[in-house]
Chains A and B, each alone.
Chain A
Amino acid sequence: MTKKPVQFQLNGSPVAVFSDEGQNLLDLLRRGVGDLSPKYGCGQGTCGSCTVIIDGEPRLSCLTLAETVEGQHVETTNGLANGPDLHALQEAFMENFAAQCGYCTPGMLMAAKALLDRTPRPSRAEIVEAISGNICRCTGYEPIIDAILAASGQPTRRTG
């Protein structure tokens, strides 16, 4: 099988790897780079668990042809924490019980980060819209919405 060289920035660091023909970005990140934070859920764009941020926009890594990220900036959940210091969203997800099984969490975090990067104090409706492509089967979504509100310094159901 032909291998294609791909170079891109992953969480601010340069990456140079070979992708297989037709390989999706999720598979390249997990098997080629060793970043296991984005998850494989449905492989068809329904669940959002593979959400990453590419050049500032949330996208689905399972539906992204790996070689198309040449020269682009990719962000995953692995890049959120700064050493032992968790990102505000990660702290808020813990404090607000926004994860149970945790499988959707990396996708939720990246969808939320993409929102807060553009809209630091989003409305509840904007949060619902931002995570509308991400499925969670544990929490019922309300704790996740609360966590994103909390991360943006806004009152939640518990604190409001």
Chain B
Amino acid sequence: MVTVTTVDTLQEAAASSAGEAVFLGGGTLVMRSVNYGELTVPQIVRLRSATALRDIRADGTRINIGAAATMGDVLRSSEVSFLHPVARQVGGPAIRNMATVGGNIFAPHPYGDFAVALLALDARLRMSDGSETDLESLLAARDSERRLVESVSIVRPAGDDFRFRKVSRVKPKGVSVMSLAAWLPRSAGRISGARIAFGAMAPTPVRARAAEAALEGATLDENGIAGALSAATQGLSPPDDGLASGWYRSQVAPVHLKRLLLGGGSRP
């Protein structure tokens, strides 16, 4: 049997949800576990109101997204129009009115595509204890994380420097076989400091560091990206699951990376 505790602040929620409890964000993952009798802890902790954590606003050179902002909030915000193709591929409209940015960071595969985009964008997280961390560090120890995410901060990418691609078998909506995101800053036509992130190529979203290194100083064309495609899966051990085998994922990852890098933005 599960009990529900309602608190007023994120700090109270973090204190209450450490240990034998789970924090309820948009409900799309927690309530599913409740419905299927799969919740592994006896307590749900929720905020009485998460309105204050739904703000999306520019702050200098960065954009802050409240952890309780839903995918629908993202789609309604002109500040983060570059993330609209990402949010639009999370579920249908009803799910998007519930699923939160903060929850997506903790969503296991085959969910969590938004976190892939945030990882490529080098997101920094403000946590419930007032500390800051980068998303990559949090993902590396996600299962043992006891803090809650308060907000996500990203830099607005220039022009078409940011790209995202979700690969699914069911159209127009289906869970992802894999998802890919790239941030490709360029100087004088050459890539500098690229970040590439994969979903479903590891237990959490991960960076493709070998591919990133191969893109340094390269041009964004067939010849320039050849090294990155060869290195696309280097160091990655994609999982087998009901959607695809790890072998399949390894084989098609360079194909989708090529489409991402040369084809630009997202597709349904």
Shortest C-beta distance, A31 to chain B (Å), equals: 14
Q: Which residues of A are found within 8 Å of B98, using beta-carbon distances? A: 59-60, 63-64
Per the bound structure, the CA–CA distance linking A64 and B98 in Å amounts to 9
Q: Find out whether the CB atom of B44 lies under 8 angstroms from the CB atom of A65.
A: yes
- Once A43-B36, A48-B92, A111-B94 are accepted as A-B contacts, the answer to whether A64 and B27 lie under 8 Å apart by CB is yes
Q: Which residues of A are found within 8 Å of B97, using beta-carbon distances? A: 57-59
- Once A45-B95, A114-B93 are accepted as A-B contacts, the answer to whether A62 and B2 lie under 8 Å apart by CB is no
Q: Find out whether the CB atom of B46 lies under 8 angstroms from the CB atom of A111.
A: no
Q: How large is the interface on B (under 10, 10 to 19, 20 to 34, 35 or more residues)?
A: 20 to 34
Q: Which residues of B are found within 8 Å of A64, using beta-carbon distances? A: 27, 31, 98
Q: Find out whether the CB atom of B35 lies under 8 angstroms from the CB atom of A62.
A: yes
Judge if A116 is at the interface, Cβ distance under 8 Å.
Answer: no
Q: Which residues of B are found within 8 Å of A22, using beta-carbon distances? A: 1-4, 34, 44
Q: Out of A4, A43, A132, which one reaches B32, CB within 8 Å?
A: A43
Q: Which residues of A are found within 8 Å of B36, using beta-carbon distances? A: 43-44
**Which A residues from 38 to 53 make CB contacts under 8 A with B?**
43-45, 48, 51
Judge if A129 is at the interface, Cβ distance under 8 Å.
Answer: yes
Per the bound structure, the CA–CA distance linking A118 and B90 in Å amounts to 21
Q: Find out whether the CB atom of A68 lies under 8 angstroms from the CB atom of B92.
A: no
Q: Out of B3, B32, B172, which one reaches A63, CB within 8 Å?
A: B32
Q: Provide the main secondary structure of the chain A interface.
A: mixed
Judge if A88 is at the interface, Cβ distance under 8 Å.
Answer: no
Q: Find out whether the CB atom of B46 lies under 8 angstroms from the CB atom of A68.
A: yes
Q: Find out whether the CB atom of A45 lies under 8 angstroms from the CB atom of B32.
A: yes
Judge if B173 is at the interface, Cβ distance under 8 Å.
Answer: yes
Judge if B24 is at the interface, Cβ distance under 8 Å.
Answer: yes
- Interface residue count on the A side (C-beta < 8 Å): 31
Judge if B72 is at the interface, Cβ distance under 8 Å.
Answer: yes
Judge if B28 is at the interface, Cβ distance under 8 Å.
Answer: yes
**Which B residues from 182 to 238 make CB contacts under 8 A with A?**
none
Q: Which residues of B are found within 8 Å of A59, using beta-carbon distances? A: 94, 97-98
Q: Which residues of A are found within 8 Å of B3, using beta-carbon distances? A: 2, 21-22
Q: Which residues of B are found within 8 Å of A36, using beta-carbon distances? A: none
Q: Out of B34, B35, B46, B95, which one reaches A133, CB within 8 Å?
A: B95
Q: Find out whether the CB atom of B173 lies under 8 angstroms from the CB atom of A1.
A: no
**Which B residues from 75 to 106 make CB contacts under 8 A with A?**
91-95, 97-98
Q: Find out whether the CB atom of A21 lies under 8 angstroms from the CB atom of B2.
A: yes
Judge if A146 is at the interface, Cβ distance under 8 Å.
Answer: no
* A-B complex: 7 closest residue pairs judged by Cβ atoms: A133-B92, A22-B2, A43-B35, A63-B31, A58-B94, A57-B97, A44-B32
If A22-B4, A44-B35 are given as contacts, then 16 extra A-B residue pairs at C-beta distance below 8 Å, sorted by A number, are A22-B1, A45-B95, A48-B94, A51-B94, A58-B94, A59-B98, A60-B98, A63-B28, A63-B35, A65-B27, A65-B46, A114-B93, A129-B172, A132-B173, A133-B93, A134-B92
